[in-house]
Amino acid sequence: MKRGRPTIEQVAALAGVSRGTASRVVNDEPYVSAAARAAVLKAVRELGYVPNQAARSLVTRTHETVALVVSGEADDPRLSEDPFFAEVIVGINAVLAETDLELMLMLGANERARTRLLRRLRSGQLDGVMLLALPGADPLCRLAEESGAPTVYGGRTMDGEPRYFVDADNRGGARKAVEHLLVQGRQRIVTITGPVDNEVTHARLSGCLDALGGGADPVVMHADFLESGGYQAMQSLLHAHPDLDAVFAQSDNMAAGALRALREAGRRVPDDVAVVGFDDLPWARHTAPPLTTVNQPIRAMGSEMARMLVALLGGGEPTSLILPTRLVLRESA
């Protein structure tokens, strides 16, 4: 049974006023007498009236809905292995909770999902879009902007800086990590990075080079941000540079892999080899030894993205943000 919900017309009838008046009351508009307002409110309560959002959207052209689109593979480890994704959402939600905006979630998993996503974007049922740019360049970015809805980015993409974005200070964080290793007197520092075409890899590598200052030429091994990648990279590095005494891994997952490879190779951490990670995932304190790593304010990234979008929706002109990262000293370096 498709129960018919009460319409504003019925509310108006019960309250003994016109639709126009009832509508004004429901939307908290001025120019309604106290008496009429009370009557309408009473009728609303009695009937259990809830406005039909579709009808409202049709005429107001607003949808009270924004989307978070994640333009990565469905299997991207940052989606499931890391709490990254969830943290961003929690941050977003905290801000949206103070508004009347609902959150739509779009993971660009397969081709069909992407098509649908695009269609939804263009069908104009979204007031704004937050784009979490996981991989390098993604055509989705362009398309999101073409949809005409205000768009803010989480992270920057390879091809140029978006108009509105929130990013973590990846470069500065990496610099601090490597500087810490240098201050300790480490002589032979190697770096394990993410995929080459990745903006995050790029930024963290820049920071690393900033610290190294171009003295000796740096040893860089590209991997994939994953534990297994870090493990393999570490093995190769140990083989190629047996004299290494410090490793900066661009992610905690890779640092965990490096730790494992080091343990198997009989190197002591941090005595023989110092290890620094990046991300400060919740489990970083549980590794053996506890991991020194760079913390990035993931939740804040989410809330700042949302705040920025809300500002945009309100006609404001927010400025892009680079959030600070900080080195968390534990025992691995």
Partner DNA sequence: TTGAAAGCGTTACCAT
Partner DNA sequence: ATGGTAACGCTTTCAA
**Interface residue list for DNA (CB under 7 A):** 4-5, 7-9, 16-21, 23-24, 26-27, 30-33, 35-36, 49, 51-52, 55-56, 58-60
Of 20, 22, 21, 29, the C-alpha closest to 43 is 22
Please identify, using beta-carbon distances, which residue of 31 and 111 lies nearer to DNA: 31
Nearest to DNA of 56, 222 (CB atom) = 56
Judged by CB under 8 A, the residue of 10, 93, 235, 320 near a second copy is 93
34 near a second copy, rule: CB under 8 A: no
Q: How many residues make contact with a second copy (CB under 8 A)?
A: 60
User: 3-class secondary structure for 288-302?
Assistant: CCCCEEEECCHHHHH
d(CA 23, CA 7): 10
- Residue 8 partner contact from DNA, a second copy, none using kind-dependent CB cut-offs of 5 to 8 Å: DNA
Which of a second copy, DNA, none does residue 311 bind to, with CB < 5 to 8 Å depending on kind? none
16 binds a second copy (CB under 8 A): no
Nearer to DNA, 8 or 141 (CB): 8
Residues of span 199-258 touching a second copy by CB under 8 A: 256
Distance between CA atoms of residues 125 and 61, nearest Å: 8
Interaction of residue 90 with a second copy, rule CB under 8 A:
yes
Cβ contact 270:332 at 8 Å? yes
Q: Which residue has the tokens 């929130």?
A: 166
215 CA to centre of own chain: 35
Of 42 and 285, CB closest to DNA: 42
Q: Where are the beta strands (DSSP E) in the chain?
A: 65-70, 102-107, 128-132, 151-154, 165-168, 189-193, 219-222, 246-249, 274-279, 292-295, 321-323, 326-328
Nearer to DNA, 6 or 318 (CB): 6
Please, which residue, 59 or 183, has the CB nearer to DNA? 59
Q: Which of a second copy, DNA, none binds 27 (CB below 5-8 Å, type-dependent)?
A: DNA
**Hey, which residues does 326 pair with through a beta bridge?**
295
| 117 C-beta neighbours (distance < 10 Å), count | 21
Options 20, 29, 35, 105; binder of a second copy; rule CB under 8 A: 105
| The length of the chain, given as a count of residues | 333
Any contact of residue 288 with a second copy (CB under 8 A)?
Answer: yes
First to last CA, the chain: 66
Q: Would you give the distance in Å from CA 312 to the centre of its chain?
A: 18
Tell me the closest approach of the beta carbon of residue 197 to a second copy, in angstroms.
23
Taking the least distance from each CB to DNA, the nearer of 30 and 315 is 30
User: If contact means CB under 5 to 8 A according to the sort of partner, which of a second copy, DNA, none does residue 21 touch?
Assistant: DNA
CA 71-73-79 angle, 5° bins: 85
User: How far, in Å, CA of 252 to CA of 293, rounded?
Assistant: 7
57 binds a second copy (CB under 8 A): yes
Query: Which structure tokens are listed for 85?
Result: 């994704």
If contact means CB under 5 to 8 A according to the sort of partner, which of DNA, a second copy, none does residue 26 touch? DNA
Point out which residues bind a second copy (CB under 8 A): 2-3, 5, 48, 50-55, 57-58, 61, 63, 65, 68, 74, 79-83, 85-87, 89-90, 93-94, 96-98, 100, 102-107, 109-110, 112-113, 116, 119-120, 122-125, 148, 256, 259, 281-283, 286-288, 299
